[in-house]
């Protein structure tokens, strides 16, 4: 038996995707970017090497529980979303998982990606069977790209832009482009004009504009002014919309509940991430995110014992 909650998480509601069940195949914050605004925290492994991180049989076993199901935990799903705590296109089996879901599940499949690996033909091909792809684009100039996304050195911006354009040209499903504006990094008039010119030629159905709302990886990552978002929306035209913070009361309640449960367990004795995930019935993605925040706040301490990390509440708590 595998711990399904390490791979499947939710379902959770968001304004963009409705009721979505997440699929997480990537270790926490393995990514090709180290974005200054990321609410998941700093990247733990900056990489562009596509690989198998969780054995495919384990992922497929988890996905098999969704076969024929339109609802999970009593909630009717709008999407099954491959996203999670890292860049999903780093998983070399992502195309296999999309095809499996399309063959066995009645629920539409979405992929949320930072667009970086769409420069590779194999990565583009892997996503073609999805119903919806939500790629992100935060910059079209090299200086802004390096400053806000802090990409792997092996990622030229031109390749990223060309790959995204080629994918959008070939993809037959829906594409909702996400643009996040960060004050002082990509919100200048000159930068936004260049971005708008690039988007004009991009075959996307929606352009969703966002800014920093949840605690970012870097404290200097600040939200753009609403006036800037509104002006940029008007510049893009009818495809554009401003997406407000998606951290709903339900999400906040779920996170508070998880934090409370973890606190009670960690006060009694040290636990690994997997133990917390199993006991609390929540995904590794959710557990690590809350553990990371609690560690930053000085509430939790971590030790490395016999090849694994153990977490406990600090003795002063």
Distance between CA 117 and CA 114 in Å, rounded? 8
Can you give the pLDDT at residue 249? 46
Torsion of CA 290, 291, 296, 301, to 10 degrees: 160
Packing angle of the helix pair 284-296, 273-280 (nearest 10 deg): 120
Q: Can you list the residues of the chain whose pLDDT is less than 50?
A: 1-5, 246-249, 317
Separation of first and last alpha carbons in the chain: 36
Assigned token pair, 4: 């399904």
Reported for 290-294, long-range contacts at CB under 8 A and 24+ positions apart, including other chains, are 290/255, 290/258, 290/259, 290/262, 291/262, 292/28, 292/40, 292/41, 293/215, 294/259, 294/262
Can you give the pLDDT at residue 163? 96
CATH topology for 250-313? Arc Repressor Mutant, subunit A (1.10.10)
| DSSP reduced 3-state for 176 | strand
Task: Pick one of 3.20.20.70, 3.30.70.100, 3.40.640.10, 3.80.10.10 as the CATH number of 4-247.
Answer: 3.20.20.70
Distance between CA 266 and CA 262 in Å, rounded? 6
pLDDT digits (tens, 9 = 90+) for 133-154: 999 999 999 999 999 999 999 9
**C-beta of residue 119 within 8 angstroms of C-beta of residue 159:** yes
Assigned token pair, 151: 């990409």
Same fold, 4-247 and 250-313: no
Domain coordinates in residue numbering, the chain: 4-247, 250-313
């Amino acid at each position: 038996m595998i711990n399904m909650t390490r791979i499947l998480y939710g379902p959770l509601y968001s304004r963009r995707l409705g009721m979505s069940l997440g699929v997480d195949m990537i270790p926490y914050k393995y990514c090709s970017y180290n974005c200054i605004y990321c609410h998941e925290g700093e990247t733990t492994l900056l990489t562009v090497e596509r690989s198998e991180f969780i054995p495919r049989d384990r992922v497929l076993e988890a996905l098999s529980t969704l076969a024929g199901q339109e609802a999970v935990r009593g909630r009717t799903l709008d999407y099954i979303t491959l996203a999670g705590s890292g860049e999903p296109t780093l998983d070399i089996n992502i195309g296999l998982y999309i095809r499996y879901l399309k063959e066995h599940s009645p629920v539409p499949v979405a992929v949320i990606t930072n667009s970086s690996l769409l420069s590779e033909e194999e990565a583009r091909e892997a996503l073609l069977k999805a119903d919806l792809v939500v790629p992100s684009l935060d910059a079209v100039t090299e200086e802004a790209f390096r400053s806000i996304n802090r990409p792997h050195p092996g990622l030229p911006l031109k390749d990223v832009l060309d790959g995204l354009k080629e994918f959008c040209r070939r993809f037959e499903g829906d594409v909702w482009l996400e643009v996040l504006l960060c004050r002082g990094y990509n919100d200048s008039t000159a930068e936004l004009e260049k971005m708008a010119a690039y988007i004009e030629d991009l075959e996307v159905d929606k352009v969703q504009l966002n800014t920093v709302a949840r605690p970012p990886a870097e404290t200097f990552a600040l939200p753009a002014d609403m006036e800037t978002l509104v002006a940029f929306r008007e510049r893009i035209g009818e495809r554009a919309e401003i997406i407000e913070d998606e951290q709903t009361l339900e999400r906040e309640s779920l996170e508070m509940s998880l934090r409370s449960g973890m606190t009670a367990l960690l006060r009694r004795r040290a636990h690994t991430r997997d133990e917390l995930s199993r006991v609390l019935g929540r995904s590794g993605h959710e557990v690590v995110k809350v553990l990371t925040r609690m560690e930053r706040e000085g509430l939790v301490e971590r030790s490395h014992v016999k090849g694994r990390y153990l977490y406990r509440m600090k003795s002063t708590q």
